[in-house]
Structures are given as C-alpha cells and as structure tokens.
Copies of this chain bind each other. A is one copy, B any other.
Amino acid sequence: MRALVVRGPGLVALEEVAAPVADQGSVLVRPVMVGLCGTDLEIIDGRIDPAYVRLPLVIGHEWVGAVAHPQQAAGHAAGARVVVEGIVPCRHCRACVAGDTNRCHNYDEFGFIRAGAAADLVSAPEFLVHPLSETVSDESGVLVEPASVVLRAVQRAAPRPGMKVLIVGDGTVGLLAATLVRLWSPASVTMLGARPQQQALAEAANVDQFRLQQDNSTRYDLVVEAAGTSAAVGAALASPTRGGTVVLLGLAGSGVSTPLLVDDLVNSDVTVMGSFSYTATAWAGVVELLNSGRLDLSFLVTHRYPLADWREALQTLGTPSGARGKVVLTIAR
C-alpha cells in the first residue's frame, strides 16, 4: 500500500510499504481524508522533540476513514465511516483510570509513535474506533482530532452562557475555538487575528468581531489562546476581566517564554489554564455533537489535494496565503 513516510529530517516520500494486518481486537480502516497540521511539518523537518516521535514514521494524525474488514469488527459495517482516537491510552496508569487519558504516563499516538493515516490502510484498536453518522461530512470528520483538543480546553474553563469571549489566533485551532465556544451561547465572540485574509472564515465561524490589533479597552470573561506565539500569549494574558480565565492551547516551541506580570495576575484574580491534547471523553463528545447534528465543521476545510500531490499540500501548509483553513489529503474512498 502507499504511505507518506518520514525517515529523517527533510526525508519524506510517498512509499510503497507493507499493509498492516488487523490483529485480535483491531479494525482495519481505509483513510478517506487526512488533515495536515503544523506538527506534521515539525516532524518532517526534525524540529519536534524526538521523545514524541519514532522514525521511520507514516504521518497523519487527523483523519476520517471507512471500515475495510468488517468481519474483524463486530458492530462495524463494511464501509462505515469512522474516526479513530489518535492517542492510544495505556488504560492502567493513574491518569488513564481517572479519565485523564491526555496525561497517560505511557505515551503512544498514531502519526507520532505508530503509523499514521497518510496511507491506504490503518490498523486501529477497536476501542478507539467511533462510528460517524451518515449526516456528518468527511470534512467534519477529519477535524475531530483538533476539535477534541479545543473542546477539552474550553470545557475545562467551564464557560457560562452570556460571557464575552476573546479568541487569540485565526488559524484552524482559533477558528475551531470560536465555533465550539458557541455551544455555550456567549454574548459575543471576538477574534484577534494575524492575517486579514482570515476574516471571511472568522465570519463563517460566527465571530462577532474580527480584529488585527489588540483593543486594550475591552476585557473578556474567557480568553482562548490558539496562536502559539510569545506575543499572542502576551496578548491573551493582558485581556481577561477581573476573575476571568485564560486558556492556553497553542504550543510556542521549546523554551519560548512570555513575561508573566505577577501582580496583574494576582490583583486581577485571574486563572490561566494550560490544556494539553484531548481526553477520550472529549473525543466522544465531539463525535456525539457531530452525530446529533449540533455541530458542523465542514466550512473549515479550504484546501484539498489527492495523496499523490502531498508535496503541493505541504507547500500550501507551510506558506499561508489567502483564506486558509484546514489543508487535507484525499485518499480513495
């Protein structure tokens, strides 16, 4: 089968590799659409912390697929569309048994440690496979992974209807945050973006106000940092109302820091929450919202390339221009 394999810094190619075999308790799934994200570029360029990656590696950790071998998966019909949790929790460490699978002590993840989905087939443990309703688009499905990261982060802040929200960042994660925070009916959602070309996508996400410059006169009950730069984190920390909450989602790179003004945090009675990845519960929550029809993320996929055109896809990912949401690879369906 085909697979997009990284063998070292800068060494990435679409190769012919042996297809996986589904062992006991696993399901073979044919990827239909695979999202690419900045972390994929870091893996390819060798910029990622090597502790999180095992080479050679088939990349692809955001994806939707179709069940390939139903006989091995009771309850999954042939061709049924599914999404597969990317993190493979050990299920016996203290974090896992508490439901904090995002903090599993024994890290394993598709597209990082084990073969990902930029390929013709993936073998996945059955307990990680979630069926999608027919009403859910492939585009929504391919976004379940980043949406789970965002849902877990936003839920952690326990939003209340009527709050004023600021999203810092206008990339896919920021746009997902603007979309998902709407589930709690905020009074308003403002986005502090970096590229004017993202305004249309921000509007599609029902953002009330799209800004390119920080407005120091307004404070927000909830601030979600989704850009992952030192400056963006600084803008986020400067924006909460007294008693407000700042959620940090974006990764800024190893060793990157932002000055934390101690007295501002204390006097303003502010809470800052880092939120790492997603729990299995958050993943199930996103699937439930999509399947119930309460959520549709299709608008966020703006660029599609066949798997064979992976070079163009990575090029588009690396050099944003124009309105850009998620860049995906499409694979046979």
Task: Give CA–CA (A250, B267) in the complex, Å.
Answer: 10
Specify the chain B residue showing the minimal Cβ separation from A154.
B161
Q: Is A266 an interface residue (CB 8 A)?
A: yes
Residues of B within 8 A of A252 (CB): 262-263
Does A311 make an interface contact (CB < 8 A)? no
Asked whether A71 is an interface residue with its Cβ less than 8 Å from the other chain, the reply is no
Taking CB atoms, residues of chain B closer than 8 Å to A333 are none
Asked if A274 is at the interface (CB within 8 A of a chain B CB), the reply is yes
Partner of A271, one of B94, B260, B271, B285: B271
A183 within 8 A of B: yes
Mark out the residues of chain A between 186 and 244 whose CB falls within 8 Å of any chain B CB in the assembled complex.
Answer: 186-188, 228, 230, 233, 237, 242-243
Q: Among the listed B127, B249, B267, B284, which residue makes an inter-chain contact with A274, where contact means beta carbons less than 8 Å apart?
A: B267
| A18 CB-CB contact with B under 8 Å | no
When the two chains form their complex, are residues B262 and A188 in contact, meaning their CB atoms are under 8 A apart?
Answer: no
Cβ–Cβ contact A98 & B95, under 8 A: no
Are B91 and A91 in touch, CB under 8 angstroms?
A: yes
In the complex, are the beta carbons of B284 and A97 less than 8 A apart? yes
**A99-B98, A185-B289, A280-B98 known; A261-B267 Cβ under 8 A:** no
Taking CB atoms, residues of chain B closer than 8 Å to A98 are: 99, 279-281
Interface of A is mostly: mixed
Tell me the complex Cα distance, A187–B286, Å: 11
Q: For window 93-140 of chain A, which residues contact chain B by CB distance below 8 Å?
A: 94-95, 97-103, 126-127
A316 adjacent to chain B (CB < 8 Å): no
Q: A160 within 8 Å of B by Cβ?
A: yes
Known interface pairs A161-B289, A266-B275, A268-B274; 20 further A-B residue pairs with C-beta atoms within 8 A, sorted by A's residue number: A91-B91, A91-B127, A95-B242, A97-B281, A102-B269, A160-B285, A161-B184, A162-B294, A187-B292, A228-B262, A237-B260, A242-B276, A248-B266, A250-B262, A259-B260, A265-B272, A267-B274, A268-B276, A269-B275, A271-B271
B-chain residues with CB within 8 Å of residue A289 when the two chains form the complex: 161-162, 185, 187
CA distance A160 to B303 in the complex (A): 32
**C-alpha spacing A26/B214, complex, angstroms:** 40
Tell me whether A258 is interfacial, beta carbon within 8 Å: yes
Q: How far is the CB of A249 from chain B (nearest CB, A)?
A: 7
Q: Which of B162, B254, B270 contacts A263 (CB 8 A)?
A: B254
Nearest CB in chain B: distance from A9 CB, A: 20
Residue of B whose beta carbon sits closest to that of A251: B263
CA distance A235 to B268 in the complex (A): 21
Inter-chain CA distance A91–B296, complex, in Å, is: 30
Is residue A257 within 8 Å, beta carbon to beta carbon, of the partner chain?
yes
> Is there an interface contact between B276 and A266, defined as CB atoms closer than 8 Å?
yes
Set of chain B residues within 8 Å of A264, measured between Cβ atoms: 274
In the bound complex, how far is the Cα of B20 from the Cα of A144, in angstroms? 44
In this complex, what residue of B is CB-closest to A152? B269
B269/A276 in contact, CB under 8 A = yes
Q: Is A255 an interface residue (CB 8 A)?
A: yes
